[in-house]
Chain A
Amino acid sequence: MSEQNAPGSAMALPPGPIPTTPVPFESSLALGLLTDMLRIRRLEEKSAELYGAGKIRGFLHLYIGEEAVAAGVMRALKPEDAVVATYREHGHALLRGVTMRSIMAEMFGKQEGCSRGRGGSMHLFDAKTRFFGGNAIVAGGLPLSVGLALADRLQGIRRVTACFFGEGAVAEGAFHESMNLAALWQLPVLFCCENNLYAMGTALRCSESQTDLRAKAAGYCVPAQAVDGMDVVAVHQATLAAVEVVRTGQQPYFLEFQTYRFRAHSMFDPELYRDKAEVDRWKEHGPIHTYTARLKAQGMLTEEQFQALDAQIGDEVDKAVEYAENGSWEPVANLLRDVHTPAGGSTA
C-alpha cells in the first residue's frame, strides 16, 4: 500500500536533485523502460520533422521531456485495463501497444492509421488495446474514465482505468465533478495528472489558487501522491503501488507527475511565457539521459548497447514512415462512413 505524501512535504518545483541511485529493477524491465522512452522520443522527433515537411498537419503536440510518465505508468497496467488520454498522446498510444506505423499513418491521414485517418495526431484510438483516445477537449476524458470504471463495476469486472490529463484540466468543472463521482461511488480509476507546469502559456501559479494538486484530490477524499515525473523509476514504483490500491481496493487514486515539456505547446507556439534558462534547467533532468547515466553507472548498459538500441529504434521509425508514405487515401466516396453504426454492428 502506497503512502500519501504528507501535506507540506510537497516536492519543490522545479524538481529536487537529479536521481543518481542505482535502478532497482531487473535487467529486462530496466532496459525495457529505456526502450519505451526512446521509442517515444525518436517517433516524436521524426514527427516534428515531418510536420515541417508538410506530411503531418493540423495540431501536433509533442511529449518530448515527459516520456518517463507514460513509460513508468504503462508498464504498471495490465492488458485488460483501459487507458484514456489527451491530445498529447503519441507516447501513451505507442506504449499501450498501438503500432508505431499505424500511429505514423494516422498522422499522415492515411486509412492505414489507427483511426483510419479521421482523427490525426490528437485522436489516436485503438479498441484492441483498450486505448480510448485521444481527447482534445481539456478534461474531456475524465468523465469518460469514470464511466468506464462504472461499467466495470456494474458488470463485476475487476480492472483499472487509467486517465491521463494535464494540470490545466484541474481548473475545469469536469475534473471536479469526475473526482467527486469516482470517490463517491468508489470506482477503480487511476487519475494520472501530468503536471508540466503550463497550460499553453498559462503557468500553474497563474491559474490555481491552490498549486498543490494533491489537495484537490484530498478535497474529494481521493488518496493522492506527487511523484518526480522526470524519473522513470519513481514513476514506475509509485504507479505499481497506486495500481495495486486501485485494483485490490476498487477505489480511485490520484497521482501527480511533476514533469516538463521541452518543446512548444504545439507547432504554433512562440513560447513568450517562459525563458530559455528555465527550459535548460529542466533539460538537465531529462528523463532519458539521466536514466541512461544511471544504467551505465551500475553496469547495466554500455554505450555500444545504447547505440545499438537507438539504431534499432531508428529503424522502427524509418519503417513506420515508409509504411505511412506507402499508405493509401480513403476514397472520398466513403466520406459519410462511420457517422452512425451500420446495421449489424461495428465496422472496426
Chain B
Amino acid sequence: MSRTSYREALREALREALQRDPHVFLMGEDVGKYGGTYAVSKGLLEEFGPERIRDTPLSELAFVGVGIGAALGGMRPIIEVMTVNFSLLALDQIVNTAAALRHMSGGQFSVPLVIRMTTGAGRQLAAQHSHSLEGWYAHIPGIKVLAPATLEDARGMLWPALLDPDPVILFEHGQLYNQEGELANDMVVDIHSARVRREGHDVSLIAYGGLLGKTLEAAERLTADGIDAEVIDLRVLRPLDDATLVASVGKTHRVVIVDEGWTSGSLAAEVMARLVEQAFYELDAPPARVCCAEVPIPYAKHLEDAALPQVTTIVAAARAVCGK
C-alpha cells in the first residue's frame, strides 16, 4: 500500500502506459509546458519529451480527429480534452467518426482511442464550465464510457482502456483530483462491471463519479434512521452492468439513483428504465432519483449548491423510498 491522490494515480497510470507501449502518446491543450490544466500530466513532458507529450493549439475538433487518424494508423493515442464542456467542439469527430467507423466500414476499421476529460460542477465555474454530459456520451453506441470514482479506478482503468480496440472515454470529476488515500501497489481493475462499494439491505443507492463520495456519506447518515443502504458505483456508464444493479435491487427492493446530469434524459433515467424493465416485481416502492436541477449551473455558491445533488437531498430521497 502507498499513499497517493486521485491526480497522482492518474499520472502514474499515464506514466505506466507511456513506459509499457511506445505507441502510446498523450495529446491535448496545455498537457506539456503548462503542466496540465489540472496538473495530471505534470512532469511527463520532461520524462517523455514533446513528441509523446504533445501540446496542441486550441483546436478540439482537429486534435480529437487527429487522434482518431493516429489510432487508425497504428498508434495508441490518449487525447486529453481539457473539460467535457470543450469536448462539444469535438463532438462531431467523436460521434460521427470515432463511434461509427468500425460499424460503417463493415468491421474493417477499429479506432483504439482513449479520450480523457474533466467533468462536473461544484467549483463555482458557472454555466459554461460545469457540465456533466457523461449521460450524453453514454447514449452513443460504439464508445465505452468510464467514470473512475476511486483511487483504484483512477490508477487502473487507463491500461485496460488502452487495450480496448474501440474508443473509450474516461471522465474525471474535477472535485476528485485532490482526494487522497491508500492504494495497493499491484491492483488490477476491469472496465466492464459495476461495484458494490457498501453493502446494505434496505435500499440501493446507485451513483458514479463525483457523487460516489456524497452517496457513501448519505449511506452513513441513513444508519441514524435505521436504514441500511447499499451503495453501488456504476464505474462503467456504457455498457451498463445490468446484472449487478438488478441483483442489488433484488436484495433491497428499493432504489435511489444519484446523477449529476440534468434529470430529463439523464443516465439516471436509463438506469431507472432498465430496473423497471428487469426488476419491476422486485420493487417495493417507486424508484427515485436525485439529479441536477434543470438549470444551467449558476455562479453564486448557494444557487449552485441548490442545483446539485447533496448529501441531504440523497438522504431525503432514500428516506422517502423507505417510507421514513
| Inter-chain contact A200/B34, CB cutoff 8 Å | yes
Pick the contact of B127: A119, A138, A169 (CB < 8 A): A119
B86 partner residues in chain A, CB cutoff 8 A = 137-138
A115 partner residues in chain B, CB cutoff 8 A = 299
Given A200-B37, A272-B33, A171 and B294 contact (CB-CB distance below 8 Å): no
CB neighbors of B among A248-284 (8 A): 269-270, 272-273
Pick the contact of B126: A136, A138, A202, A203 (CB < 8 A): A136
| Inter-chain contact A273/B299, CB cutoff 8 Å | no
Does B85 touch A at the CB level, under 8 Å?
Answer: yes
| Inter-chain contact A202/B300, CB cutoff 8 Å | no
| Inter-chain contact B300/A201, CB cutoff 8 Å | no
Does A330 touch B at the CB level, under 8 Å?
Answer: yes
User: 1/0 per residue B232-246: CB within 8 Å of A?
Assistant: 000000000000000
User: Looking at chain B's contact residues, is the secondary structure mostly helix, strand, loop, or mixed?
Assistant: loop
User: 1/0 per residue A161-193: CB within 8 Å of B?
Assistant: 000000011011110000000000000000000
Cα of A136 to Cα of B85 in the assembled complex, Å: 10
Does B154 touch A at the CB level, under 8 Å?
Answer: no
Q: Which of B16-24, B55-63, B107-115, B309-317 binds A?
A: B55-63
B34 partner residues in chain A, CB cutoff 8 A = 200-202, 269, 272-273
- In the complex, the number of residue pairs spanning A and B with C-beta atoms less than 8 Å apart equals 125
Closest to B85 in A: A137
Pick the contact of B298: A135, A139, A173, A335 (CB < 8 A): A335
Given A137-B85, A200-B30, A272-B35, A329 and B302 contact (CB-CB distance below 8 Å): yes
Given A120-B124, A200-B30, A173 and B299 contact (CB-CB distance below 8 Å): no
Query: How many A residues touch the partner, as a band?
Result: 35 or more
Cα of A206 to Cα of B33 in the assembled complex, Å: 10
Cα of A173 to Cα of B63 in the assembled complex, Å: 12
B300 partner residues in chain A, CB cutoff 8 A = 109-110, 117-118, 120, 329-330
With A173-B61, A207-B55, A272-B34 known, 8 other A-B pairs at CB within 8 A are: A118-B299, A135-B128, A137-B85, A138-B58, A171-B57, A335-B293, A336-B294, A339-B294
A positions within 8 Å CB-CB of B = 57-59, 106, 109-110, 115, 117-120, 122-123, 135-140, 168-169, 171-174, 199-203, 206-208, 269-270, 272-273, 329-330, 332, 335-336, 339
